[in-house]
Chain A
């Protein structure tokens, strides 16, 4: 089945130690998104790639970066995780354009110790 896969499901990292979360898709969608979702809150868009074009949200901290080496993969890098970065990180894809729904992965739960 076509899907969005996030690895790992759970990630524990030390305060200040760089961490990378990965996302892959078999849908061949143009757009890949990274969302941060804290407990009992709505997902918050961090950035997205439309093909190779990177779009950063204005309020996304510089601590968060992303790479998309090809259509199928996208990575979220957190350079120096703080305690406030503990959250569920959701990857989503879409075809791009209005009216196309997102397909979300199951998320990566990040814990910072």
Chain B
């Protein structure tokens, strides 16, 4: 069972445009929602993360919007650049006595066209 659902599977955006990736979850116990960026042949790298007590978090060109009642969150990449071309994973975790196990979405392959 997929704990976190992500869409779209792939996305093509013109340089300078806005990229939007959406995720949804069911488990209301989740309380930490990070986004990871992965380039080919590399491990995922933490991009930005949000806790459910805020509705939006912005870091540079990257913004997470969080809708707790709808159990949805999204990543917005403003002024998309070709260097942003990568696979993006949303994830969620819940309090765990031993570790914050992350459940990943299925990923979105973003291509930014010059």
Find chain A residues with CB under 8 A from B106 CB.
41-42
Docked complex: B60-107 residues within 8 A CB-CB of A: 89, 93-96, 98-102, 104-107
Docked complex: A26-54 residues within 8 A CB-CB of B: 30-31, 33, 40-45, 48, 50, 53
Whether the Cβ atoms of B102 and A45 lie closer than 8 Å is yes
Whether the Cβ atoms of A92 and B43 lie closer than 8 Å is yes
A98 to B97 CA separation, bound complex (whole angstroms): 9
Q: B-contacting residues of A (Cβ < 8 Å)?
A: 4, 6, 30-31, 33, 40-45, 48, 50, 53, 55, 90, 92, 94, 96-107, 109
- Which chain A residue has the least Cβ–Cβ distance from B44? A104
Whether the Cβ atoms of A96 and B44 lie closer than 8 Å is no
Find chain B residues with CB under 8 A from A101 CB.
34, 46, 49
Find chain B residues with CB under 8 A from A45 CB.
101-102
Q: A-contacting residues of B (Cβ < 8 Å)?
A: 31-32, 34, 36, 41-46, 49, 51, 89, 93-96, 98-102, 104-107, 109
Shortest distance between the CB of A91 and any CB in chain B (Å) = 8
- Which chain A residue has the least Cβ–Cβ distance from B103? A45
- Nearest 9 A/B pairs, CB to CB: A104-B43, A50-B98, A42-B104, A101-B46, A31-B99, A98-B95, A42-B106, A50-B99, A106-B43
Q: A42-B107, A103-B46 are in contact. List 12 more A-B contacts (CB 8 A).
A: A40-B109, A41-B107, A42-B104, A55-B99, A96-B98, A98-B32, A98-B93, A98-B96, A99-B31, A99-B32, A101-B49, A102-B44
Shortest distance between the CB of B84 and any CB in chain A (Å) = 19
Find chain B residues with CB under 8 A from A48 CB.
98-99, 101
- Residue contacts A-B, CB under 8 angstroms, 12 given: A40-B109, A42-B106, A43-B89, A44-B104, A45-B102, A48-B98, A48-B99, A92-B43, A98-B95, A99-B100, A102-B34, A107-B41
